[in-house]
């Protein structure tokens, strides 16, 4: 018989993981999710036989026995799921046709880059050396145990694991992709390198780790896409005896004597539990569900709008043509900026999913074009006719651009879909439609390594999990964060934290 109960807000990856580990540890858990499906941002949507993936480009932990893989094994997410590894992460092409191919193999990348710019050999060798070094770095050590539970021995072990990488972390953690690019002689590489990892402010450490994990086969794409991946964790949770309530929007967290005791839904229904874990949007949790009552100065500063947030637009197209011979992900540098929703763009990223046959009908292609968006603008026009017009215009401009790349494509487009920051906000509740909580930059990297508090000052029996307490977000980090929340609950109840694998059978009742 379960001893104690936990209410979890949100069935994103963090909430599902918290649910699974809660059940493994003998708690009686329930998840309340506003949407009608699991996954949160880790999702995909179907239109006329095409599956448009809205999330995973690379999944850390996709390689058996490698960092983060154990958590996916425990969550039943990877068993029987083929992982698709890319030798080329992406290609960056300038208007003259020069092409930087971002190979995940550091030797191949270095040779290719030196052929493009021999005079930058020294910087290129440093880049390849950085990638090689991070192949051995286990990033999951940052979340093995919540900081609040770490004793002297844990810190000693943590220090020993980090020590060999301190130099590399200091060097590459304090330099953005843009700053690294600015050191190059080659005008092409100076333009291309900031686009290598999707945003120019990314700390080089994050980009190098990504290529390192791609090289070791630990950053693949889960066949079937992001929603299927999340659904596997949902199934694991249900098999462990958990309950999910969909279309259940939590309005308030109930508090009695500074102790979280349950939630109130928008329907006014109240549900009680011994613990509440919010794995939903951080700002909403702190300032709406709890009315800002437990927000100290530091937390208010965190949410004062100064930390970087990435809001994006995704134009998804179903194309009646097989584009699989083209690079699966290419960023085109433009001489003439393209104007989309009033913003000039000096480059545009185009991706097709031809590498996973399950995502489009035979002989057809799911194509997506993604770019950073101005949240304030989309919020201002939301609910007005201009919002729909602007979506149509964005799709039209993107299609005009694609027509230049693939003549005739306009006539082959069967489905068009535009997701704006407001779409992400509406469907997942994330502030400004943020794709990862706080965007990982040099500024937020310190917060990522240091780790944000998972509790609120003065509020007992309440924990936070997910991308808003783990700067930079990401699917594995969200999962580890759900696991950390249950480690904290177990510690509060002075019981050992245990885990199991699906083949171990149901967890013993607590």
Considering only 54, 242, 421, 471, the residue that binds ligand FAD (CB under 6 A) is 54
| CA dihedral sign of residues 430, 433, 436, 437 | negative
Shortest distance in whole angstroms from residue 315 CB to ligand FAD: 12
Are 24 and 498 within 8 A, CB to CB?
yes
Question: By CB under 6 A, is residue 225 in contact with ligand FAD?
Answer: no
**270-272/259-265 β-pairing:** antiparallel
Q: How far is the CB of 178 from ligand FAD (least distance, A)?
A: 20
Total chain residues near ligand FAD (CB under 6 A): 39
Q: How far apart are CA 324 and CA 352, in angstroms?
A: 7
Report, in Å, the least distance between residue 494 CB and ligand FAD: 28
Q: Which is nearer to ligand FAD, 123 or 341 (CB)?
A: 341
Which residue among 55, 75, 109, 507 contacts ligand FAD (CB under 6 A)? 55
Question: Which of 62, 461 has the CB closer to ligand FAD?
Answer: 62
Smaller CB separation from ligand FAD, 112 or 249: 249
In the complex, the smallest distance separating the C-beta of residue 360 from ligand FAD, rounded to whole angstroms, is: 18
Residues whose CB is less than 8 angstroms from the CB of residue 417 and which lie 6 or more positions away in sequence, other chains included:
45, 47, 52, 315, 316, 317
Question: Taking CB under 6 A as the rule, does residue 473 contact ligand FAD?
Answer: yes
Question: How many Cβ atoms are within 10 Å of 122's Cβ, its own excluded?
Answer: 9
Could you say whether residue 488 binds ligand FAD (CB under 6 A)? no
Beta strands 5-9 and 28-32, pairing class = parallel
Sign of CA dihedral 170, 172, 177, 178: positive
Binding to ligand FAD in span 171-210, by CB under 6 A:
none
Among 8, 34, 123, 409, binds ligand FAD (CB under 6 A): 34
Instruction: Report the half-sphere exposure of 345 (CA within 13 A, side-chain side).
Output: 25
- Which residue minimizes CB distance to ligand FAD? 12
Residue with tokens 């304030």: 376
Contact yes or no for 345/338 (Cβ under 8 A): yes
Q: Does 350 bind ligand FAD (CB under 6 A)?
A: no
Q: Which of 6, 7, 8, 14 binds ligand FAD (CB under 6 A)?
A: 14
Among 478, 485, 490, 507, binds ligand FAD (CB under 6 A): 478
**Is residue 33 near ligand FAD by the rule CB under 6 A?**
yes
Which residues, other chains included, contact 419 with Cβ-Cβ below 8 Å and sequence gap of 6+? 54, 313, 314, 316
Per CB under 6 A, the list member of 436, 485, 486, 507 interacting with ligand FAD is 436
**486 backbone dihedrals φ, ψ, rounded to 5°:** -75, -30
- Cα separation of 237 and 231, whole Å? 10
Instruction: Using alpha carbons, select from 501, 464, 94, 164 the residue that is nearest to residue 302.
Output: 464
By CB under 6 A, residue 422 contacts ligand FAD: no
Q: Which of 32, 89, 172, 332 is in the footprint of ligand FAD by CB under 6 A?
A: 32
**417/134 Cα distance (integer angstroms):** 38
**Dist. CA 93–CA 97, nearest whole Å:** 6
487 binding ligand FAD? (CB under 6 A): no
> Nearer to ligand FAD by C-beta: 123 or 230?
230
SS (HEC) of 27-48: CEEEEECCCCCCECCCCEEEEC
CB of 123 to ligand FAD, least distance (A): 27
Instruction: Name which of residues 288 to 317 contact ligand FAD (CB under 6 A).
Output: 312
82: Cα within 13 Å, side-chain hemisphere: 8
Among 6, 232, 250, 402, binds ligand FAD (CB under 6 A): 250
Q: Does 40 bind ligand FAD (CB under 6 A)?
A: yes
Cα separation of 496 and 205, whole Å? 34
- Cβ atoms 42, 57 nearer than 8 A: no
Q: Which of 23, 391, 430, 432 contacts ligand FAD by CB under 6 A? A: 430
Question: Does residue number 66 form part of the binding site for ligand FAD (CB under 6 A)?
Answer: no
**Is 234 among the residues that bind ligand FAD (CB under 6 A)?**
no
Binding residues vs ligand FAD (CB under 6 A) = 9-15, 32-35, 40-42, 54-59, 249-250, 279-281, 284, 312, 428-430, 435-436, 466-467, 473-476, 478
């Amino acid at each position: 018989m379960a001893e104690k109960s936990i209410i979890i807000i949100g069935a994103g990856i963090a909430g599902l993981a918290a649910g699974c580990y809660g059940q493994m540890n003998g708690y009686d858990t329930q998840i309340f999710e506003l949407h009608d499906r699991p996954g949160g941002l880790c999702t995909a949507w179907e239109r006329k036989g095409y599956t448009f993936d809205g999330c995973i480009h690379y999944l850390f932990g996709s390689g058996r026995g490698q960092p983060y893989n154990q958590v996916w094994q425990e969550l039943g997410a990877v068993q029987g799921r083929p992982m698709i590894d890319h030798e080329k992460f992406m290609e960056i092409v300038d208007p003259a046709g020069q092409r930087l191919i971002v190979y995940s193999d550091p030797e191949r990348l270095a040779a290719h880059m030196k052929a493009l710019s021999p005079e930058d050999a020294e910087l290129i060798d440093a880049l390849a050396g950085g990638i090689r070094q991070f192949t051995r770095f286990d990033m999951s050590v940052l979340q093995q145990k919540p900081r609040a539970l770490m004793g002297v021995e844990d810190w000693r072990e943590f220090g020993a694991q980090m020590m060999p990488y301190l130099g590399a972390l200091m060097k590459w953690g304090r330099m953005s992709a843009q700053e690294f690019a600015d050191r190059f002689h080659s005008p092409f590489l100076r333009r291309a390198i900031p686009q290598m990892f999707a945003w120019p402010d990314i700390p080089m450490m994050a980009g190098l780790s990504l290529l390192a994990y791609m090289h070791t086969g630990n950053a693949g794409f889960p066949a079937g896409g992001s929603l299927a991946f999340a659904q596997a964790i949902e199934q694991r949770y249900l098999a462990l005896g958990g309950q999910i309530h969909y279309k259940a929007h939590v309005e308030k967290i109930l508090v009695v004597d500074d102790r979280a005791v349950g939630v109130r839904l928008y329907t006014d229904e109240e549900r009680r539990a011994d613990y509440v874990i919010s794995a939903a949007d951080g700002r909403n949790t702190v300032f709406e569900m709890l009315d800002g009552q437990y927000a100290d100065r530091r937390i208010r500063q965190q949410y004062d709008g100064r930390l970087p947030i990435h809001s994006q637009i995704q134009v998804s197209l179903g194309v009646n043509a097989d584009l699989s011979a083209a690079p699966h992900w290419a960023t085109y540098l433009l001489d003439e900026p393209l104007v989309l929703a009033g913003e000039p763009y000096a480059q545009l990223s185009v991706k097709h999913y031809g590498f996973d046959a399950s995502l489009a009908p035979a002989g057809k292609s799911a194509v997506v074009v993604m770019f950073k968006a101005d949240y304030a603008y989309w919020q201002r026009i939301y609910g007005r006719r201009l919002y729909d017009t602007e979506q149509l215009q964005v799709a039209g401009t993107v299609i005009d651009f694609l027509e230049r790349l693939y003549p005739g494509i306009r006539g082959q487009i069967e489905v068009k879909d535009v997701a704006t920051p407001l779409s992400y906000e509406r469907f997942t509740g994330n502030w400004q439609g943020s794709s990862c909580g706080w965007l990982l930059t040099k500024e937020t990297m310190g917060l990522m390594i240091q780790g944000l508090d998972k509790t609120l000052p003065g509020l007992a029996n309440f924990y936070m999990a997910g991308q808003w307490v783990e700067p930079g977000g990401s699917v594995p980090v969200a999962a580890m964060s759900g696991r950390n929340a249950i480690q904290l609950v177990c510690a509060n109840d002075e019981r050992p934290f245990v885990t199991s694998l699906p083949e171990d059978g149901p967890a013993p009742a607590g």
